[in-house]
Amino acid sequence: MSILKTFATVGLAMAFSANAQTMDHSKMDHAAHMAKMADAQRQSEVAYRGKDVMPFTLAATTHIFTKGAQGGVMKVVAKKSSDTAQVKLVRKHLQEIRQQFLQGDFSGPSHIHGQDMPGLGPLRAAKPGQIDIAYKDVKGGAELRYKTVDSDLVAALHQWFDAQVSDHGKDAMKGHNHADMMKK
């Protein structure tokens, strides 16, 4: 085993162990405990692979995924909006992945989350123009707004968002679609 692989394995083990130690084990049965342990291990692995794709520091940012009737919004913001280095890196990255996604290139998410990531197959198979992706600077970062009239692609986007929230753990969250809430 190469030295790099050894360090990577040790780093993942340490992160996994740290997550396990911070869990409140008294309020969960064995199955719940094992599920939490698996989630913590997956989140550590995703964070490790994320460094290959995302130029910003995952722990210094928050991913916010807001589902909408025609797609949704992925927003990435620095936890400290005054951290101009992270803000610049987030904005550059979202501009780059927008271009890649518009060309059907989802290799970044595939590398980070795996080839079988929920929702990714239909997104990769979408024809050019089926999904509109708009970029916007926001305070502390940037957002990508995904829009489509294809209900199967909306469902794929929602699955993809849910998988990212799960995989990024404490560095991601579900957003609230205030526009959809106002219509009810």
In the chain the first and final C-alpha atoms are separated, in Å, by 57
Provide the 10 A C-beta neighbour count for residue 57.
18
pLDDT along the chain (184 residues), means of 10: 42 43 54 52 56 71 94 96 94 94 84 76 93 97 97 96 80 72 44
Give the model's pLDDT for residue 39.
55
What DSSP line would sit under 117-170, residue for residue? -TTHHHHHHPPTTSSEEEEEEETTEEEEEEE-S-HHHHHHHHHHHHHHHHHHGG
Distance (Å) of CA 15 to CA 37, 77, 164: 11, 23, 19
Give the model's pLDDT for residue 26.
60
Say which residues have a Cβ less than 8 Å from residue 152's Cβ, sequence separation at least 6. Answer: 122
Domain ranges of the chain: 3-50, 58-183
Give the model's pLDDT for residue 138.
96
Give the model's pLDDT for residue 172.
73
Read off the tokens for 184: 């009810």
**H helical segments located in the chain:** 3-21, 30-50, 84-102, 107-113, 120-125, 151-168, 178-183
